Amino acid sequence: MWSKYKYYIVSGIALVLIGVLESIKPKEVVWLESYSRYDKIPYGNFVLFNELESIFSESIVSSSESLSQTLDDAQQKTNLIIINNSFQPAEVELEALLEFVNNGNQVLIASRTISQALLDTLNLSIENSFDDEIQTSYIFYLKDDSTRYTAPNQSMFFRSYFANSDEGNYLGFNSDDQPNFAFSTFGKGKIYLHLTPNVFSNVFMLADENHHYISQVLSYLPDQHTIWDEYYKVRKNYISKTPFQHILTTEGLQQALYLLLLGTLLYIIFASKRKQRIIPVLPTKANTTVEFVETIGQLYYNESDHKDIGMKRIDYFLAEVREKYRLDTEVLDDTFAKHLSNSSGVPFEDVSLLVTNFKVIRAVANVLDERIIEQEKLIENFYKKARSYGK
């Protein structure tokens, strides 16, 4: 039994081992910036979102809709928190945001790049400073606070900072003393802009006492109902998984995979006890082409219809001439013979004899055996000399 089913058994065991190894191997660290409340990767916001309850005593909701939809039914006295590596809302969404702030609400936007339309509205501008080398750490501090907070693994070639805002509006700075945290009053509300979203990520908050920095930043927002944005995220585009990784990291699919592997193994074990049905040997199909030709030939011979044979041979030959040499075969005369001779390379005398034979067969009512034999020899001679043409 082993020799008969060893390949199936080995394949089943291999599948089980692959599943076990995939489930226990260390998960690959994803160093991409998602800033999503659902992600526990270094640059996700799982830690921050779950700590918001310790900062704000009022209700906290998450929204996956655009600003125009989220803020349409927003209650009065509301905070809005948007964190992403880029914030470029559409015009209608920006209008909804400014109206929301104008009505006395507060907004915190942490993003490396911010909509130019929003900056122009707030009379702000952003510039970038570039580093020659990747920085392994990055320092932040807040206005009127001597504490310096270090961000680990900040692999950024450039840093954004405010260039023309009123210094009284600056709230935080980076290690180059460039302002990266500021606010602007708009109508009855305020908009807080932070140009380094990395400091709100999991990897920053879990390092040393960095969570105090985030607490101080968020303390500028009043303790009131807060909306967490999940719409302006790039997690679906950036965080990619292989189909197998997706199955192993999704509850339900993982159990289904293990059940499938176990069922396959059990099937191999029990099915191996059944006898294999004998496969019948089918005879090889014989080539009856020769017999068919002989039968057709005998039929024509018995009928003695040489005229029909000759006409079919002519039609076949002329069809091949039309296809190969692109010649008009309607009129078989000396002009046709010259054109065919020039195109095929067969001497004119041979082509002329062949054309004469065709004309005779077409003209007479009864064709003799000798005429058909002559026709076949002339056609074979034509093919032979046409094949040698150009060699």
Q: What is the DSSP letter of 42?
A: T
> Which span out of 8-12, 225-229, 237-241 was modeled with the highest average pLDDT?
225-229
Q: Could you read off the pLDDT of 30-57 as tens digits, one per residue?
A: 778 889 998 888 889 999 999 999 999 9
pLDDT above 50: residue 74: yes
pTM to 2 decimal places: 0.57
Mean pLDDT of all residues in 188-205: 92
pLDDT above 60: residue 73: yes
Asked whether the beta carbons of 74 and 105 are under 8 A apart, the reply is yes
Mean pLDDT of all residues in 261-269: 78
Number of neighbouring beta carbons within 10 Å of residue 99:
16
DSSP codes of every residue in 125-151: -EEEEE-SS--SEEEEEETT----EEE
pLDDT above 80: residue 140: yes
Structural domains of the chain, with CATH: 2-26+244-271 (no CATH), 46-238 (3.40.50), 289-387 (no CATH)
Residue 3 to residue 58: CA distance in whole angstroms: 70
Phi, psi (deg, nearest 5) at residue 100: -60, -45
Residue 167 to residue 322: CA distance in whole angstroms: 91
Structure-model confidence comparison of residues 259 and 242, the more confident one? 259
- Residue found by looking up tokens 């009864």 in the block: 366
Please provide the distance, in angstroms rounded to a whole number, between the alpha carbons at the two ends of the chain: 64
Supply the pLDDT for residue 170: 92
pLDDT grade for 239, boundaries at 50, 70 and 90? very low
Mean pLDDT of all residues in 149-172: 75
Q: Name the least confident of 25-29, 63-67, 199-203.
A: 25-29
